[in-house]
């Protein structure tokens, strides 16, 4: 297995969808929470709605944004 990971590069992920929610996100924590919601299987439409609301949220960490995002999705 040694050396197998070094063979991976950005070209191997070229077929994957990119994150384009058309939002101007300045917060690193918000960005990470958006990626986490997508990784959990929520649709881009669901995440986009929540992300707009989260832009006004005053979270101090990715966990704060993710928890709030999950709360908003469950409403």
Per-domain boundaries in the chain? 23-74
Predicted local distance difference test score (pLDDT) of residue 21: 61
pLDDT of 75 reads 87
How far is the C-alpha of 48 from the C-alpha of 69, rounded, in Å?
A: 10
Q: What is the pLDDT of residues 20-44, one digit of tens each?
A: 565 666 789 999 999 999 999 999 9
Verdict on whether the full-model pTM lies above 0.85: no
Q: Which of 70, 4, 74 is nearest to 33 (CA)?
A: 70
Fold of 23-74: Helicase, Ruva Protein; domain 3 (1.10.8)
Q: What is the CA radius of gyration of the chain?
A: 15
Mapping DSSP to helix (H, G, I), strand (E, B) and coil, where does residue 63 land? helix
What would you measure as the largest C-alpha separation in the chain, in angstroms? 47
């Amino acid at each position: 297995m040694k050396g197998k990971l070094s063979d991976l590069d950005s070209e191997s992920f070229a077929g994957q969808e990119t994150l384009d929610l058309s939002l101007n996100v300045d917060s690193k924590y918000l960005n990470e929470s958006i990626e986490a919601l997508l990784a959990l299987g929520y649709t881009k439409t669901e995440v986009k709605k929540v992300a707009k609301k989260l832009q006004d949220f005053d979270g101090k960490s990715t966990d704060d944004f993710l928890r709030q995002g999950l709360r908003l999705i469950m409403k």
